[in-house]
Structure 1
Amino acid sequence: MRPVIHGGDIYQNEIELDFSVNINPFGIPEKVKEAMQESLELCEHYPDIHHAKLIEKIGAYYHIPEEHILCGNGASELFVAIVHAIKPGKIVIPVPSFYGYEKAANVTEAEVSYYEMKERDGFCLTEAFLQELQEDVDLLFLANPNNPVGNTIEDVLLEKICDRCREKKITVVIDECFLEFTRKKGFFETHSMQEYPNVIIVKAFTKLYAIPGVRLGYGFCSDSKVLERMEAVTQPWNVSTVAQLAGLAALKETEYVEKGRLLIFRESVWMKERMAQLGLKVYPSEANYIFFHGPADLFERCVPKGILIRNCSNYPGLEKGYFRVAVKLHEQNEKLIQVLNEVLG
């Protein structure tokens, strides 16, 4: 079997329930499905190359000026575009964290420095990290919340990091793709974009609206020159007609989003309690997934039972025995606990 480097590898295994991908447990909203179906009639035409309507609605939703928004073929395309636009000599990535930052960094000859967060700190950033941010650093990737751990960066510390990076002329990328599944607000909801031209926020429709197969991400930045350079290195028509119309429909689904958030807050508490009772070391994730430590071969034990969990051993800074599971509907979560009880017994 090929090494698992991402969740959702349902194509290599016969799976009943996939807990390796962290998306809204209610699935694709019906109105979004309808919009995608209707978009097929328009697919004989090129997509809007400027994504004008979508950018307008994203701006209205987040109260961000349209000229500060850029859309992409998923968040991953934007990470690569940022690296091309900044042309960094040195990139800092705290680990463990999403492997996509490393993949984006590898499109250049930049030096990549991994800052290893410690298990004794719950894999959280501390103020000691500020000393890593020196004049030789050009680009910093941060995940808020962290993936796979699920913790968020303490608000005061995040502000200190962004302040220091502004002082040292370091561009900060804050990945907020899972933030709506936490109780935290986005950085540009509490800080002025104009005060932090060195900060780029990246988000995606993937997780919140359960459409990873559509590929639709977006970014916010007040530095127009950086956005222009990013746009220059992305492919024309990179956001399909299907994706644009899906995004427009998704932005209207406010009740769906809140329903998903409330379910996750409730189910996460229940799952953590049950998993801890099984003897697993469970970390205090704030997101729609749970990070834990168990037997090194737990992934292999679960697959024959039709359950796919995320083996996190390929994340830099982690070893065998670390795993992540999504928070899903209650009956699905019950099935996971049942299987874990069987394979751990």
Structure 2
Amino acid sequence: MIVDLRSDTITKPTPGMLDAMMSAKVGDDVFGEDETVNALEEKLANIFGMEAGMFCPSGTMTNQIAIKCFTHPLDELIADQTAHVYRYEGGGIAFNSAVSTRLLNGPRGILTAEMIEPEINPENIHFPDTSLVVLENTVNKGGGSCYTLNNIAPIASLCKKNDLKLHLDGARIFNALAHTGDSAKSYGQYFDGISVCLSKGLGAPVGSVLLADKATLKYARRIRKVLGGGMRQAGFLAAAGIYALDHHVERLKIDHAHTQILATELAALPWVSNVLPAETNIVLFDTIEPADTVTAKLAAKGIKANSTDKHRIRFVLHLDIHADQVEYLVSVLKSL
């Protein structure tokens, strides 16, 4: 048995999703004529209470476009030191936008208004202009930790008071919503931009959508074109996103239940020294042996997992992991 827990990006389209993709009505999206892309963008904008959306190949592209739209060269953005936009997007903040980054150290990647406020630069020729705050929900390096709307509201208020833009890297936003029970539609009142990834927990093969107001997205489409993200008959891919939104959101709770099982079992094992709180579909745990030694033992049993530090391993649950695979994984973990 193979159990692939490296990421929720490794899922394959379901038969129903493939059918939806193959029957999609398409046109040229750069001309705005792909009706399936248009339908996906409108659908997500309505879900999150935003004006409009723009389909892109990846979450990295939507995040980088948003940063470009919400800053000017020599500005500075504020983010947690674990943020995907900083750690895992190839230095794109500096390369694409000529913007510096003020890094904070939130508990499991979660920032507060009280942490952010003293880091906003005063207007002074010696300092970059602080112009943007970026949040991530869920926080990958935080083990799938979540912001609630109650956490977000004071940050949004602080940003508005200081004329800062607020962007959400919503790579796993639907996992966060499944955990918190918050309303997606409420997000639009707080954020200037939201990146929604369709190719992680929702199981689409490709794609993220940047949500914002129409004026921002007019400029964003120009940036998307410059970055090479102007796809043509992209409706075949957008159809997978629509199918995922219609069929794969509610089932995220299954992944979360599997996560809870694994976190409980790991906490009882003598070779595991610590398990981070598991809120959504990610389990981070620390091992007494080097993590690479443990992942090699797991690989020998057909279990694929990544180490994220010298003694830390990450399991990511997704729609291609079923109850029998979780049961098998638990038996292997107990045997190590």
Normalization by structure 1: what TM-score?
0.77
Q: Does 1:324 align with 2:324?
A: no
Match of 2:306 in 1: 310
CA displacement 1:297-330 (0-9 Å, x = unmatched): 22343234243223223xxxxxx32332112322
1:109 lines up with 2:87 in the alignment: no
Alignment of structure 1 residues 178-189 onto 2, 5 Å:
178-181=172-175, 182-184=178-180, 189=185
**Deviation at 1:183?**
2.5
1:104 maps to a residue whose letter is G
Stretch of structure 1 that moved more, 263-272 or 97-106: 97-106
Contact 1:18 1:309 in 2 (8 A): yes
Do structure 1's residue 337 and structure 2's residue 307 form an aligned pair?
no
Q: Secondary structure of the residue that 1:93 maps to in structure 2?
A: strand
Q: Which residue type is aligned with residue 8 of structure 2?
A: N
Pick one of 126, 130, 137 that aligns with 1:137. Answer: 130
| Runs of 5+ unmatched residues, structure 2 | 122-128
Shift of 1:83: 2.6
Residue in structure 2 matched with residue 221 of structure 1 by the alignment: 212
- Take 2:172 and 2:331, find their aligned partners in 1: how far apart are those partners? 27
- Unmatched runs of 5 consecutive residues or more in structure 1: 1-14, 314-319
Among candidates 51, 63, 67, match of residue 83 of structure 1 = 67
Task: Name the counterpart of 1:155.
Answer: 149
C-alpha displacement of 1:53: 3.2
Partner of 2:231: 239
Deviations along 1:99-130, one digit per CA (max 9) or x if unpaired, are 3356331323322222123xxx4554345323
1:45-56 matches, within 5 Å, as 49-50=31-32, 51-56=34-39
Amino acid of the structure 2 residue aligned with 1:178: R
Cα drift, residue 142 of structure 1: 1.1
Displacement, 1:200?
0.7
Question: Structure 1 pair 200/36, CA: closer, same or farther in 2 (3 Å)?
Answer: same
Which residue is 1:170 aligned to?
Answer: 164
Task: Tell me which amino acid in the other structure corresponds to 1:325.
Answer: F
After superposition, the Cα gap between the structure-2 partners of 1:295 and 1:104, relative to the gap in structure 1 and judged at 3 Å, is: farther
Letter in 2 for 1:171: K
Kindly tell me: are residues 200 and 237 of structure 1, through their superposed partners in 2, closer, same or farther at Cα, counting changes over 3 Å? closer
Provide the rounded CA distance (Å) in 1 between the counterparts of 2:82 and 2:51: 33
Q: Is 1:125–2:111 an aligned residue pair?
A: yes
Question: What is aligned with 2:43?
Answer: 60
1:264 aligns with 2:223: no
1:202 to partner: Cα distance: 0.6
Distance change in 2, residues 1:239/1:208 (3 Å): farther
What is the number of residues matched between the two proteins?
A: 309
Would you say the 8 A contact 1:33–1:246 is kept in 2?
no
Show CA shifts across 1:145-203 (max 9, x none): 1113211124322111111112212222112221222323567512554xx5x621110
| Root-mean-square deviation (Å) | 3.1
The answer for the alignment partner of 2:124 in structure 1 is none
Q: Percent of pairs identical after alignment?
A: 13
Cα distance in 2, alignment partners of residues 253 and 233 from structure 1:
27
The answer on whether the counterparts of 2:5 and 2:304 sit within 8 Å (CA) in structure 1 is yes
CA contact (8 A) 1:70 1:227 kept: yes
